[in-house]
Amino acid sequence: MNYLFKILILALLFQSCQEEKQISSTNPTNWNKRIVNHPLADTLTTGISYLSVYPQIYSQTEHRTHSLTVTVSMRNTNRKDTLFIEKAEFFNTHGKLIRTYFKEHIFIAPMETVEIVIDEVDKDGGTGANFLFDWKIKPNANEPLFEGVMISTSGQQGLSFTTQGKRIE
């Protein structure tokens, strides 16, 4: 009995030490449900917004980093008008494109929030990652709001902070 107990404990320890790397976001099939299947009006106002995010931050020295989970919120601040996002591009610290989250226009309904999540184990972005969002709205509609929430918890310690996007075009 003691022997079986020890084997069970070792098996549990071994299983808990294996960390599987998964790069996730909103399930890619959900992007397909948001694709706009008709041509967008030529009268829409276009813009590009920049958002800085921090999948990693420096800790104690420049040689040690701490990984964070990143939640990117794409928010439609309009009560009646739909927001259209043409693309959401994720760049690393060196400006290299890491991934584009969808290839066609998606819609975000009035007052809706759509999120992209970058797992804590995803270190591709580094300490100076960022997003570019190409978007379209009806003339005189409120511009979208892009926010980043970075968080990490370990034991009784936690770290979190936010960033806000800025229109650059």
Q: Which residues are registered as beta bridge partners of 74? A: 114, 146
d(CA 148, CA 146): 7
Give the burial class of 65: count Cβ atoms within 10 A of its Cβ; 0-12 exposed, 13-18 middle, 19 or more buried.
middle
Answer whether residue 17 shows pLDDT above 80.
no
pLDDT mean over 32-47: 92
% of the chain at pLDDT higher than 90? 68
Residue among 78, 122, 83 nearest 105 (CA): 83
Are 91 and 132 contacting, i.e. CB atoms less than 8 angstroms apart? yes
Structure tokens given for 56: 């990693």
% of the chain at pLDDT higher than 70? 83
How would residue 155 be classed by pLDDT, with cut points 50, 70 and 90? confident
Are 131 and 87 contacting, i.e. CB atoms less than 8 angstroms apart? no
What pLDDT is stored for residue 20 in this prediction? 45
d(CA 45, CA 86): 12
Domain ranges (residues) in the chain: 24-167
Q: Read off the pLDDT of residues 87-146 as tens digits, 9 standing for 90 and up.
A: 999 999 999 999 999 889 999 999 999 999 999 999 899 999 999 999 999 999 999 999
β-strands 83-91, 130-137: how paired? antiparallel
| Domain 24-167 part of CATH 2.60.40 | yes
Considering only residues 8 and 102, tell me which one the structure prediction assigns the higher pLDDT: 102
How would residue 9 be classed by pLDDT, with cut points 50, 70 and 90? low
The answer to whether the predicted template modeling score (pTM) of the entire model surpasses 0.95 is no
Are 86 and 135 contacting, i.e. CB atoms less than 8 angstroms apart? yes
What pLDDT is stored for residue 25 in this prediction? 53
What pLDDT is stored for residue 112 in this prediction? 96
Residue located via tokens 């999948």: 55
* Order of strands across the sheet that contains 145-154: 113-118, 69-75, 145-154, 157-164
